[in-house]
Amino acid sequence: MKKRRLGRTGLEVTIVGIGGIPIQKINQDQTIDMFKSVHAAGINFIDTARGYGVSEAYIGRAIEENRQDYILATKSTMRTYEDMKKDIDQSLMDLRTDYIDLYQLHFVKDLEVYDQVMGDQGAYRALLEAQEAGKIGHIGITAHKKEVIEKALEDDCFATIQYPYNPIERHGEYLFERAKQQDVGVIIMKPVAGGAFERGELSIKYILNNENVTAVIPGMETSDLVHTNAAIGKGDLNLSEEERAIIQETVDRLGETFCRRCGYCEPCPEGIVISGQFLLEGYLLRYDLKDWALERFKGLDKNASDCVECGLCEPRCPYDLPIRDMLKKVRKSFNV
């Protein structure tokens, strides 16, 4: 597996790492089995989060016997000093380790939140103290809006940034170039646009062709996915003309107004699994699975027709998507 230096951390991470969100879909035994494949494939970079349910705890048990072989990253959405202190200690406990290589301020939504976490009683102070105490090695930040990363790079307080990037979402490329100049590691989330980019291997290859990117962290929950993604990190990253044509066709077809299935818009007070609506619509319209999508849509307890347009979901969306209008489109697509 190819490796790149994670900026000023000096850590040599595999260019394909493990994204920990989907661990919530499987049980502990399945996680242990999957990480046997991770270890065998030579992947050494793991990224999880306090907010990913059981992910930290399952990963902690799965890697306990060979913790030294991994570079371990996690993150927290806590905004205050006291809350972040608690989360750091909980992460250490759940991950069954006395040291976390990279701890990140997670999902810093806008500049107002950025100012809060960087203030005297903000979460960043707790990370600095944990670093001084030897609990964490380096401090990073994750965001979905470019102005937050711009500010983070301007302040130059972080060893890494984590930001969405794929052939459809390319607006962060100048940020990665600047990060490289400042010796800041660049970790890529949403490498397949939340599943919207169906040829995921091509998207990952595209991302890793950018020399300013350090590592990409596709979510994985099966050994098959581990083997598939690890093969990309071990193989030829050059894209053929045919592959570039496929990528461009997908970009043209999807546009920018699509759900990345991050789940931040939920829970819906009406019980609608919002991201699931858009996933099924994709199967209905794009993937030639009309009957399959219709059957599953009809089997849902709640669907887009139950939306009361309260609008609570929209301020939560890191991509500022017009979710209510998109749900109306789902209703029209499924004729409900």
Length of the chain, please? 336
Task: Determine, yes or no, domain membership for 252.
Answer: no
Q: Is residue 161 part of a domain?
A: yes
The domain of 310 spans 274-334
Q: Are residues 65 and 129 in the same domain?
A: yes
271 vs 313: CA distance, rounded Å: 12
Answer yes or no: do 121 and 177 share one domain: yes
Percent of the chain surpassing pLDDT 90: 80
Tell me, what's the pLDDT at 144?
87
Q: Are residues 116 and 208 in the same domain?
A: yes
> What pLDDT, on the 0 to 100 scale, is given for residue 287?
58
At which residue do the structure tokens 């100049």 appear?
181
Please indicate, yes or no, if residue 264 is contained in any of the structural domains.
Answer: no
Picking from 226, 243, 260, the residue at the C-terminal end of a domain is 243
User: Poorest-confidence range of 22-36, 58-72, 73-87, 243-257?
Assistant: 243-257
Burial class (CB in 10 A: 0-12, 13-18, 19+), 42: middle
pTM of the model: 0.85
Measured in whole angstroms, the distance separating CA 245 from the mean position of its chain's CA atoms is: 26
Backbone angles phi, psi at 244, to 5 degrees: -65, -35
Output the pLDDT for position 328.
96
Q: Are residues 108 and 160 in the same domain?
A: yes
Clarify whether residues 194 and 310 are in a common domain. Answer: no
Quote the pLDDT of residue 276.
Answer: 87
My answer on whether 168 and 34 are in the same domain is yes
| DSSP state letters, 251-302 | HHHH-S-------TTPPPTT---HHHHHHHHHHHHTSS-HHHHHHHHHT-SS
Burial of 53 (0-12, 13-18, 19+ CB in 10 A): middle
CATH no. for residue 80? 3.20.20.100
Q: What is the pLDDT of residues 41-83, one digit of tens each?
A: 999 999 999 988 899 999 999 999 999 999 999 999 999 999 9
In angstroms, the CA 197 to CA 318 distance is 19
- 85 or 293, greater pLDDT: 85
Same domain, 37 and 171: yes
In a domain, 323, yes or no: yes
Please state the φ and ψ torsions of residue 46, each to the nearest 5 degrees. -125, 130
Query: Which pLDDT value is given to residue 198?
Result: 78
Half-sphere exposure of 86 (CA within 13 A, CB side): 6
Of residues 193, 188, 220, the one with CA closest to residue 275: 193
> Do 228 and 160 have their domain in common?
yes
The verdict on residue 195 lying in a domain is yes
Judged by average pLDDT, the poorest of 36-50, 130-144, 195-209, 227-241 is: 195-209
CB 79 within 8 A of CB 118: no
d(CA 55, CA 50): 8
Measured CA to CA, the distance from residue 95 to residue 117 in angstroms comes to 24
Residue 39 sits in the same domain as residue 173? yes
* Confidence band for 279, pLDDT divided at 50, 70 and 90: confident
- Contact yes or no for 67/99 (Cβ under 8 A): no
Q: What number of other Cβ atoms are within 10 A of residue 180's Cβ?
A: 17
Report the domain count for the chain.
2
Residue 131 lies in a domain: yes
Examine the domain organization and report whether 209 and 158 are in the same domain: yes
N- to C-terminal Cα separation, the chain: 48
Whether residue 256 is contained in a domain is answered as no
Closest CA to 233 of 15, 44, 12: 15
Same domain, 286 and 239: no
pLDDT given at position 318 = 85
Residue 257 inside a domain? The answer is: no
Let me know whether 34 and 115 are in one domain. Answer: yes
